[in-house]
Structure 1
Amino acid sequence: MTVIRKACRNCNRSKRKCNIQLPSCHRCVQKGLDCVYDLDHLNTTNHYSGKTSDFWLQLKDHDRLGHCLLRMSQSCAPGIDPHIGYPGKKEPYEYIRLGYASIPEIVKEKKPAIFIHPKLQLHSTHAKHLAGFIRSGVGDVTFQDFTRLAQIDIAAIPLEEALTACQALIIYLAMYIFSPEESERKGAEDSLDVLSKWTNNLYTSALTCQPHGRSPWQQWLFCESVRRTIVSSYAFFMLLDNYRLGYCTNWLFLESLPFDQRPGLWMASSAQAWIAAAGARTGPDVGERLSSVHEFAESHAGSDPGFCGDIFMIMLAISHNGYKRTGA
């Protein structure tokens, strides 16, 4: 697993402040420079390996699904207290069931889902892993399709196909991780490591293998699809860990991941609507304005802006800040 340094090479060399955005920081975009980040390893291990992370969590409010560990953790002891949360709470399960497992029906209706946009133009060979979901939701896919997908060598296929393969795998896992059929549950459990590897591959490949020749809207849709898929993958592990264990060691990394938090851009159905939602005059003027999950959630604590119906933003805000009841 990797995290970005505090500045890209150009900003670091010029001793200038870097806003650390992917695929390019603001200064590099303005100057037309190739934006390159060096990567450091994040010393975090996966729960499924039977190991624990090397920081101690001190959390107070266990009523919420998510906790901002950037302000609640401190490196003072090895391991994690397994009693900091309440395993088996229904909220994480409901997020997976209503959020992720509902994606196929949204995709079938040709509406923007959490990380899949119907207007993103991809070659049919790159989009084939989502074809069944697009045709008929969950009615045209099987568990055998899931097992075949999980056998793909993700490093041997183009980035565009790797994106849709990762998206399809997340949907399949959401379908089968709580299946009443033992064989399906086991198959999903066995594929969790596959999703982890695929997400890491998508994360690192997107830094260097961006497709070219797209319009500004299509380029933004592709990059935002990659960003949202990565965030959603780590959020899936976070939800699963919260349900089973009551805590998640990947939360710190999840909160550092970027996406474009401007409401309305993802829900736009045309380039013109996308430009209007950004308050820009032309496509190139829209650009990218990325924020980390942490910055996004903190900026919306205590508010309920609706996010133009964007389920991705709604899920992140509620999971981090808790549900704000009317009149509360």
Structure 2
Amino acid sequence: MSVLRKACRQCTVSKRKCIVQLPKCSRCTQKGLVCTYDLEPINAPTGKLEVAPQLSFNPSNCDTPGYCVFKTLRLRPDDVDPAICRPGHEDAFELVRLGFQTVPGMLKAEKPAVFVHPKLKMRHYSYDHVAIFREMGNEAVNERNFKNLLHLNIKTVPMEEALTAVQALLIYFANFLFAPNEGEQLDTVQYLNTLFAWAQALFPSAQNEMPRDQSPWQEWLFAESVRRTILMSYAITMATSSFKYGYCANWLFVESLPFDSRAGLWMAESPQAWIAAARVRMGEEVGEQLQSYHEYSESRMGMKDDFHGDIFLKLLVNSHNGVN
């Protein structure tokens, strides 16, 4: 797994506290400074990686054995047991259903889902792997489509296509892995390794291959889709490890992952609504205001629900803090 530096170069020189996040730490973002990490940063340059980060699914590679990201979740269906990190307990699956299995239905209804937005436009040369869910909803979730997707060489496609491929893989994987009364046993480790490899291919290119010839709204939608997709890729891994082994792998790494936490922006279905949600006058003024998962969840401690219907934000906060 990639190692994050505890402080960027600017904060180190200034001897200031550094909250590590992408694309810049909080201090550099506020001051408009160039933010660089001398040790292996997660926004390393794209291209052919000589040494790829070791993200293989391995139950021994965990940050906090015995601790689960979902353990403090209190807002849950009545039939979900609080001891959801007990190995072999299917309640961990129920939490993943809330974040993944709702996506096809939301897309068919043309509504923003947890990590896929129906208004994100693909350029003409990029194939959209989630388009089938917009057309067919849950009917598109079948073994044939799943196996066809797995033939894709993620490293040879444009970044826009790679994004939708990872999103589609998450949908298929979650639905098959957590399907009740599953007939054929899914090779969990094999598909988790595939998910890691695909997320790994998407991760370092997120900074250098973002499409810059789009409207401000489309640029923001694409960047936020990448961030949410990467975070949810790790979320499904943690849920799986909690079910199998009783703890969640990569917890500390996930806490450092950034996203735009301004409630309402993701739920906007037009550029006008997006601008209004950001409380600015023009799209160019919206920009990005990123927080790490840990920083955002801590800032929401004890506060009431004002997520504007954004299931992603609600899941993150409830998973981290619980609900009083």
Q: How far is 1:241 from its partner?
A: 1.5
Contact 1:258–1:292, Cα closer than 8 Å, also in 2: yes
CA distance in structure 1 between the partners assigned to 2:105 and 2:239 by the alignment: 21
Per mean C-alpha deviation after superposition, the further-off stretch among 88-97 and 263-272 is 88-97
Q: How far is 1:310 from its partner?
A: 0.1
1:192-211 to structure 2, matched below 5 A, reads 192-211=192-211
Amino acid at match of 1:229: T
Residue aligned with 2:40, SS: strand
Contact 2:66–2:247, Cα closer than 8 Å, also in 1: no
User: Which residue is equivalent to 2:60?
Assistant: 51
Contact 2:69–2:248, Cα closer than 8 Å, also in 1: no
Q: How far is 1:47 from its partner?
A: 8.1
User: Which residue is equivalent to 1:110?
Assistant: 110
Q: How far is 1:24 from its partner?
A: 5.0
CA distance in structure 1 between the partners assigned to 2:285 and 2:238 by the alignment: 35
Which of 57, 61, 64 lines up with 2:72 in the alignment?
64
Give a deviation string over 1:88-142, Cα, whole Å, max 9, x none.
4454211212320110000111100011111111135534311211101121342
Q: Residues 34 and 154 from structure 1, CA distance in 2 versus in 1: closer, same or farther, beyond 3 angstroms? A: farther
Residue aligned with 2:130, SS: helix
Contact 1:163–1:226, Cα closer than 8 Å, also in 2: yes
1:165 aligns with 2:165: yes
TM-score by length of 1: 0.80
Give a deviation string over 1:172-221, Cα, whole Å, max 9, x none.
001100343443x4255521100011112211111222222111111111
1:80-99 to structure 2, matched below 5 A, reads 85-99=85-99
Amino acid at match of 2:229: T
User: Which residue is equivalent to 1:152?
Assistant: 152
1:178 aligns with 2:178: yes
Contact 1:126–1:164, Cα closer than 8 Å, also in 2: no
Per mean C-alpha deviation after superposition, the further-off stretch among 278-287 and 25-34 is 25-34
User: Which residue is equivalent to 2:283?
Assistant: 283
1:243 aligns with 2:252: no
Amino acid at match of 1:320: H
Aligned length: 304
Residue aligned with 2:186, SS: helix
Q: Residues 25 and 286 from structure 1, CA distance in 2 versus in 1: closer, same or farther, beyond 3 angstroms? A: farther
Residue aligned with 1:301, SS: coil
Residue aligned with 1:236, SS: helix
Q: Residues 62 and 205 from structure 1, CA distance in 2 versus in 1: closer, same or farther, beyond 3 angstroms? A: closer
Q: Residues 60 and 28 from structure 1, CA distance in 2 versus in 1: closer, same or farther, beyond 3 angstroms? A: closer
CA distance in structure 2 between the partners assigned to 1:98 and 1:205 by the alignment: 29
Amino acid at match of 2:134: I
Q: How far is 1:33 from its partner?
A: 8.0
Greater helix share, structure number? 1
Q: Residues 62 and 133 from structure 1, CA distance in 2 versus in 1: closer, same or farther, beyond 3 angstroms? A: closer
Residue aligned with 1:40, SS: coil
TM-score by length of 2: 0.81
Amino acid at match of 1:203: F
Q: How far is 1:262 from its partner?
A: 0.6
Contact 2:64–2:248, Cα closer than 8 Å, also in 1: no
Contact 2:68–2:246, Cα closer than 8 Å, also in 1: no
Contact 1:177–1:188, Cα closer than 8 Å, also in 2: yes
Contact 2:55–2:196, Cα closer than 8 Å, also in 1: no
Q: How far is 1:27 from its partner?
A: 7.7
Per mean C-alpha deviation after superposition, the further-off stretch among 298-307 and 152-161 is 298-307
CA distance in structure 1 between the partners assigned to 2:174 and 2:159 by the alignment: 23
1:238-277 to structure 2, matched below 5 A, reads 238-277=238-277
Contact 2:122–2:128, Cα closer than 8 Å, also in 1: no
User: Which residue is equivalent to 1:72?
Assistant: none
Stretches of structure 2 that go unaligned for 5 or more consecutive residues are: 43-52, 75-82
CA distance in structure 1 between the partners assigned to 2:96 and 2:68 by the alignment: 24
User: Which residue is equivalent to 1:120?
Assistant: 120
CA distance in structure 1 between the partners assigned to 2:264 and 2:244 by the alignment: 34
Amino acid at match of 2:102: S
Name the Cα RMSD after superposition. 3.3
User: Which residue is equivalent to 1:131?
Assistant: 131
Q: Residues 295 and 91 from structure 1, CA distance in 2 versus in 1: closer, same or farther, beyond 3 angstroms? A: farther
CA distance in structure 2 between the partners assigned to 1:58 and 1:141 by the alignment: 33
CA distance in structure 1 between the partners assigned to 2:94 and 2:125 by the alignment: 33
